[in-house]
Amino acid sequence: NAGVMQNPRHLVRRRGQEARLRCSPVKGHSHVYWYRQLPEEGLKFMVYLQKENIIDESGMPKERFSAEFPKEGPSILRIQQVVRGDSAAYFCASSLRDSDQPQHFGDGTRLSIL
Amino acid sequence: AQSVAQPEDQVNVAEGNPLTVKCTYSVSGNPYLFWYVQYPNRGLQFLLKYITGDNLVKGSYGFEAEFNKSQTSFHLKKPSALVSDSALYFCAVSYPSGGYNKLIFGAGTRLAVHP
């Protein structure tokens, strides 16, 4: 069974460009989470989505960041007009519906801003 | 505010010796507790969880963790460490509501097992 698939694994952007990060959850998982990991830090929650719905975006910066999980296709985390401070590893996780199920993490996208 | 503390940045242990990685939390109510491990340039791998029931939970790769409600701790343990256990370990808690888990992570503890 395929796990959570994230692409690209590495992404380099110049300041002001857009970054699009993709996440395909484990087959059958309807819950998708995005987390950000800054160097030498733990993961910080960004957003939680179900198909076609953003449920909790309390960890998302108010500007430039958006996320979606369409009916068909992967979940997308989009960062517009990137800045140096956006450099981080972005992880996607998915889980079954029940809240006591562990989240399965992808290998992350490492975003570097030049 | 909900938070998770991993007081040790790094834990060093000799192969074959027991290991403990500490975690304390400050979350009201009855949180769910998790341990994850991260290898270089990889995502997090689930080790074990505590939801309810026995305070000692067993997980993957011989790891176990003890939930102590009075001390709000959830320390990770293994009776005999392996060099291959060297990695970054994260404790996480959640206070599920609405049917989902928003994980709050500690800063991580780097475990180094020496031959």
Cross-chain residue pair A107–B98, CB shorter than 8 Å: no
Q: Which residue of chain A comes nearest to B35, CA vs CA?
A: A102
A73 DSSP 8-state letter: S
Whose tokens are 């981080």? That residue is A88
pLDDT of residue A99: 65
Phi, psi of A85, deg, nearest 5: -70, -10
Contact A87, A14 (CB under 8 A): no
Identify the band that residue B24 occupies on the pLDDT scale cut at 50, 70 and 90. Answer: very high
For an interface test with B, give the residue of A24, A30, A31, A43 to mutate (most B CBs within 10 A): A43
pLDDT of residue A100: 72
Residue A97 contacts B where some CB pair is shorter than 8 Å? yes
* Better-predicted residue by pLDDT, A110 or B31: A110
For an interface test with A, give the residue of B44, B89, B94 to mutate (most A CBs within 10 A): B44
**CA proximity to A7, closest of A94, A91, A95, A96:** A91
- At A107, list the tokens: 């290998």
**Residues of chain A under the 70 pLDDT cut:** 1, 98-99
pLDDT in tens, B40-77: 888 899 999 998 888 999 999 999 999 999 999 999 99
pLDDT of residue A82: 97
In this predicted structure, the answer to whether residue B6 has a pLDDT above a threshold of 90 is yes
Cross-chain residue pair A100–B49, CB shorter than 8 Å: yes
Burial per residue of A85-103, b for 16 or more beta-carbon CB atoms within 10 angstroms, e otherwise: ebbbbbbbbbbeeebebbb
